[in-house]
Amino acid sequence: MNLIDLRSDTVTKPSPGMREAMANAEVGDDVYGEDPTVNSLEARVAQLLGHEAGVFTPTGSLANQLGMRALVNPGQEILADVDAHVLRAELGAAATFSGITSRTWYTKNGIFDPETVLSMMRPNAGPHLVSTAAIAIENTHNFGGGTIQSIDAISALRKETQSVGVSMHLDGARLWNAHVATGVGFAEYGSHFDTVSVCLSKGLGAPIGSVLVSSKERIANARVWRKRYGAGMRQVGILAAAGHYALDHNIDRLVEDHRHTRAMAESIAKVAPEIINLQSVMTNIIVLNMTTHDLDAPTLAAKAREHGVIIGALGPQTVRLITHLDIDDANAKFATDVLTDLLG
């Protein structure tokens, strides 16, 4: 059986065109700064986001960790939401490697409220309390269900944080999706943050790769830390070529993923309205809350798999469905039929 995999947008396989671009990439030793394809990708992403420089990393987690390290000294704190990938899914890396402490705020579906964040901020807290050095915002928000942070909320937060010297990091692993859904430009998003990470290996379909952008000075320093962490890479132009291909071909098509997700969400809401919040379905992710349903998340996942659809049980009562590049109209319809039959 041909399985339809909705666990993540990281499960895509490189397309023939992407593989060809990778095979033909010009390469060099990137630790010496001599890989032209990596260099051009870093410069391209930095320019896209309106920043001076970029550094290529194998993972989004590393790009986030290098970004946070650049903004927060050991013993200082970063503020983020309780479900932020940078804290919850990067396994305590900020504390482990950078001595960064954190405090978190609660959200509904990952969407932050500037007032809440500002009320937690304690910059320059003196000798008795931890000082807030930075705030991390995730856009779109993964565990929140692909939700989008409003540009007005971001700019309101930026205005206040800038005036007291608190920095802002954007975990933009899926910023592509936010851009396509809202029309807000990448540089407009980028202008409100000191460091921005973006992933090429999620909705854009590259097999690997993220880029952290910031000032020249911070990126030069991040390059040193990347090497120190053991992620100095050599002829990785073959990977950066996949990133260039992804930027050329796979941004605009994200509207397809959003269309599939919307249709799937609306069909699910018809048969089981209590498990889905349609308002929070904004991009390519659906989160189902199975608390009041007869099936729990692992049971639904097991049954869906028997019918050829793989879905993610994130916890006993939480299911996540993500559409992506390898899900076409027919796959989306098939998966929707399977899920609505099981849930109805």
Helix (H, G, I), strand (E, B) or coil at 236: coil
Q: Which is nearer to ligand PLP, 272 or 288 (CB)?
A: 288
> Is residue 138 involved in binding ligand PLP (CB under 6 A)?
yes
Query: Interface with ligand PLP by CB under 6 A: which range of 30-38, 55-63, 154-162, 273-281?
Result: 55-63
> In the stretch 165-184, what mask flags binding to ligand PLP with x, by CB under 6 A?
------x-x-----------
Find out whether 163 and 197 touch, Cβ atoms under 8 Å.
no
**Which of 107, 142, 214, 331 lies at the binding interface for ligand PLP (CB under 6 A)?**
142
311 Cβ contact partners less than 8 Å away, ≥ 6 residues apart? 6, 7, 300, 301, 304, 305, 319, 320, 321, 339
- Report the nearest approach of ligand PLP to the CB of residue 40 (Å): 21
> In the stretch 87-126, what mask flags binding to ligand PLP with x, by CB under 6 A?
----------------------------------------
- CA gyration radius, the chain: 20
Query: How far from the centroid of its chain's Cα atoms is residue 178's Cα?
Result: 10
Helix (H, G, I), strand (E, B) or coil at 159: helix
337 Cβ contact partners less than 8 Å away, ≥ 6 residues apart? none
Q: Which is nearer to ligand PLP, 25 or 199 (CB)?
A: 199
Of 171, 231, 173, the residue nearest 199 (C-alpha): 173
Q: Report the amino acid identity of residue 239.
A: L
Place of tokens 């565990």: 143
Q: Which helix (H) or strand (E) holds 218?
A: helix 216-228
Helix (H, G, I), strand (E, B) or coil at 150: coil
Q: Which is nearer to ligand PLP, 51 or 141 (CB)?
A: 141
Find out whether 208 and 62 touch, Cβ atoms under 8 Å.
no
> Is residue 199 involved in binding ligand PLP (CB under 6 A)?
yes
**Which of 12, 37, 61, 98 lies at the binding interface for ligand PLP (CB under 6 A)?**
61
Find out whether 214 and 67 touch, Cβ atoms under 8 Å.
yes
Find out whether 293 and 274 touch, Cβ atoms under 8 Å.
yes
| Separation of first and last alpha carbons in the chain | 24
By beta carbon distance, the residue nearest ligand PLP is 60
Q: Which is nearer to ligand PLP, 149 or 331 (CB)?
A: 149
**Which of 69, 85, 158, 258 lies at the binding interface for ligand PLP (CB under 6 A)?**
85
- Report the nearest approach of ligand PLP to the CB of residue 10 (Å): 6
**Which of 59, 109, 191, 299 lies at the binding interface for ligand PLP (CB under 6 A)?**
59
Query: Interface with ligand PLP by CB under 6 A: which range of 54-62, 157-165, 313-321, 332-340?
Result: 54-62
- Report the nearest approach of ligand PLP to the CB of residue 193 (Å): 14
Task: Return residues touching ligand PLP (CB under 6 A).
Answer: 59-61, 64, 85, 138, 142, 171, 173, 199, 201, 210
